[in-house]
Amino acid sequence: MQAVSEMSLLGRDFLSVADLTADETLALFAAAQRFKRRTPNERERACLTGKAVALLFQKPSLRTRVTFELAVAQLGGYAVVLTQAEVGLGQREAVKDVARNLDRWVNAIVARVFAHATLEEMARWAQVPVINALSDREHPCQALADLFTLWQRWGGELKGHRLTFIGDGFNVAHSLMLLCALLGVHCTIATPKGYEPQPEIVRKAEELARTSGARIAVTNDPVAAVRDAEAIYTDVWTSMGQEDEAERRRRDFAAFQVNMNLLRHAPEGVAVMHCLPAHRGEEITDEVLDAPFCLAWEQAENRLHVQKALLAATVGGALP
């Protein structure tokens, strides 16, 4: 197994995809591919032996909970799952107090929260690694799985390829844009007016792109955005916590549905991506989501493999 000390990932927080370098990300992809291709050997199964990981959920979860819980178990560790009903993060108990307690019991904290500031506070008060399993600012573990999926599809090459995101310039779009910029993938974000990515995220992506050679673009024209896309990505129009905006968002996003009409403007052979859960008939049609060119199910599977690599690196101290 490769010692992670070479990459300095052991013990590090992972709150944003920008916390990684391009080389570190590609090393995680290579490890994830090895995990995906074979059953872990005895040494890999013992990577987290004797280590406990707290999985803390303010929001409901299917893919994040299952893949992280399985990842910890398959690496020989023990996952402690904590819901908001049990912990009352920031309500029953202050965030820093939760962090200081968990820090004395577990070897890492994986947290799925509403506010990114919650993660930042937790990381300030815990000495063990804190991993962002989703916040209102980013969804970095999802982005790692997404770009790993494309890395495999494109034969281990990412630089110069083209990804277009259609929808809300929110957490998933933020992490995708940053990771594309880091790895040299040309990224276009197409949103309705008023739903663009946060300016500071765009500036950070542009800064990363100056090194990688990626082109970063934000537009309000979904048709123009897909004309040269090799992969088209979408996500729900209304995220958890935005339910009171659902009707207005359906109106605002009506022209941004990923359907066969939109795909007719894209190159032949384009792939479609979705991080799930999907609101079928809103941001994506059944015809597209269930099509053979849709990678949503592979993306979901790859959450497991990428997160195993991430845990092996940040908590176990070695990569397979």
Neighbours of 9 (CB within 10 A): 26
Give catalytic status of residue 100 as yes or no: no
Q: Phi first, then psi: what are they for 228, rounded to 5°?
A: -120, 20
Give catalytic status of residue 187 as yes or no: no
Which of these is catalytic: 249, 303, 305, 307? Answer: 303
Which of these is catalytic: 65, 116, 139, 186? Answer: 139
47 annotated to bind ligand: no
235 annotated to bind ligand: yes
257 annotated to bind ligand: no
Give catalytic status of residue 162 as yes or no: no
Which of these is catalytic: 33, 58, 84, 142? Answer: 142
Terminal Cα distance for the chain, rounded: 4
What DSSP letter does each residue of 119-178 carry, written as one string? HHHHHHH-SS-EEES--SS--HHHHHHHHHHHHHHTTT--TT-EEEEES--SHHHHHHHH
Tokens of 104: 């004395």
Which of these is catalytic: 13, 33, 63, 112? Answer: 112
Which of these is catalytic: 47, 180, 187, 275? Answer: 275
303 annotated to bind ligand: yes
Give catalytic status of residue 174 as yes or no: no
Task: Name the DSSP class of 315.
Answer: I
| Secondary element (H or E) of residue 24 | helix 22-37
Q: Are the C-beta atoms of 38 and 320 separated by less than 8 Å?
A: no
240 annotated to bind ligand: yes
Contacts of residue 275, defined as CB under 8 A and 6 or more positions apart, other chains included, come to 139, 142, 146, 172, 233, 235, 296, 299
294 annotated to bind ligand: no
161 annotated to bind ligand: no
276 annotated to bind ligand: yes
Give catalytic status of residue 275 as yes or no: yes
Which of these is catalytic: 13, 136, 168, 235? Answer: 235
Helix (H, G, I), strand (E, B) or coil at 51: coil
Give catalytic status of residue 142 as yes or no: yes
Q: Are the C-beta atoms of 94 and 71 separated by less than 8 Å?
A: no
Q: Phi first, then psi: what are they for 18, rounded to 5°?
A: -70, -5
222 annotated to bind ligand: no
16 annotated to bind ligand: no
Tokens of 165: 């995101």
Burial of residue 100, with CB atoms counted within 10 A of its CB: 0-12 exposed, 13-18 middle, 19 or more buried: middle
Helix (H, G, I), strand (E, B) or coil at 308: helix
Binding site members for carbamoyl phosphate: 112, 139-142, 275-276, 303
Binding site members: 112, 139-142, 171, 235, 239-240, 275-276, 303
Binding site members for L-ornithine: 171, 235, 239-240
Residues annotated catalytic, as ranges: 112, 139, 142, 235, 275, 303
